[in-house]
Amino acid sequence: MSQSKSRITAFGTYVPERILTNADLEKLVETSDEWIVQRTGMKERRIAAPDQYVSDLAIQAVEDMVRRYGVTVQDVDMILVATSTPEYAFPSTASRVQSKFKIVSTGALDLNAACAGFVYALQLADGLLCSGAYRKVLVIGAETLSKITDYTDRTTCVLFGDGAGAILLERDEESPGVLASISGTFGEGGIHLYKTALSEQMDGTDLKSGCLVQNGREIYKWAIRNIPEGVRTLLSKANMNAEEVEWFVPHSANLRMIEGINERGPFTMDRTLTSVEYRGNTSAASIPLALQLAVDEGRLQAGDHVLLYGFGGGMTYAGSIVRWTI
């Protein structure tokens, strides 16, 4: 049985104004709209302006949440931001959010779990609320991957976009919304998806410095082998079957990868929410962006059970089943 004592009370997102289409990418590298769609399912991505950073996107997502639900963030006890693309090593992105909203007394913490970051942050927030030490936690997944993408590399530059999503979790002992969670890591696969910082070696192997580097073939094989079984493990932990979950929301890495996962897993594509087609791969932001698209389209309704599953860099994963309560 879940020990959760939290539920989602508000939600918001933001994507930058600039659109990068497949036709735009044809002008940068040797590629085509047909090639990109066939291999990734992507048609567009949103790209941050040169002077727009991840804290700006995070703040806009929170502002969207406040507008949509009329909530206040002035009394949150903790701000958690999942991101791999902070504009500073420190201060944290979370502290920039605190500064913008002038929240008098709150913790502020960034966490880096790459594409699994949003679900990890959700799990951490749920644990803080369950402890009784916190009453209200702001969780944000935000990325500006365009700023670390090599636009001369035709295999990766077609994939990535920018965006942010925010949720408000509040303590609720009567009708908690987080039903079960799992997480895990295959750290030995970290070399297949990395961005260097202080070291240009990993386990004795020289790395390419600067931009994001991805071995798409290895990532695909790892995901296809491991994610379907992880989804089944999470369902078992929640004592649920797939028919009791209305929506599967995996990290929107690549539409073909998601199709491959579903071919081996318990869900079908018509019950899967993604943001990949018009947002690209937005790492920690991809799951909240998929949720927002489904809310706006009227597909995701209060009371629905949703299985969130993030996976990626560090070869880490995190899954949670939540009851959508707004």
The active-site residue, picked from 115, 157, 254, 262, is 115
The active-site residue, picked from 130, 157, 192, 251, is 251
Cα separations (Å) of 125 from 70, 121, 217?
A: 21, 6, 33
Looking at residue 171, the DSSP 8-state letter turns out to be E
What's the rounded Cα separation, in Å, for the pair 138 and 173?
A: 18
What's the rounded Cα separation, in Å, for the pair 310 and 90?
A: 25
E strands present in the chain: 6-14, 18-21, 44-47, 78-82, 107-111, 136-144, 162-171, 178-185, 193-194, 201-202, 205-206, 213-214, 247-250, 305-312, 316-323
251 is catalytic: yes
Cα separations (Å) of 194 from 212, 215, 218, 220, 264?
A: 6, 9, 13, 15, 27
262 is catalytic: no
Token reading at 160: 């990535």
Rg, C-alpha atoms of the chain: 19
Length of the chain measured in residues: 326
CB atoms within 10 A of CB 8: 22
What's the rounded Cα separation, in Å, for the pair 32 and 76?
A: 46
Contact between 168 and 101 under an 8 Å Cβ cutoff? The reply is no
The active-site residue, picked from 22, 254, 262, 281, is 281
115 is catalytic: yes
Looking at residue 14, the DSSP 8-state letter turns out to be E
Token reading at 242: 């797939």
Token reading at 15: 């994507």
Cα separations (Å) of 134 from 3, 99, 127, 179, 197?
A: 15, 20, 9, 19, 33
Instruction: Enumerate the active-site residues.
Output: 115, 251, 281
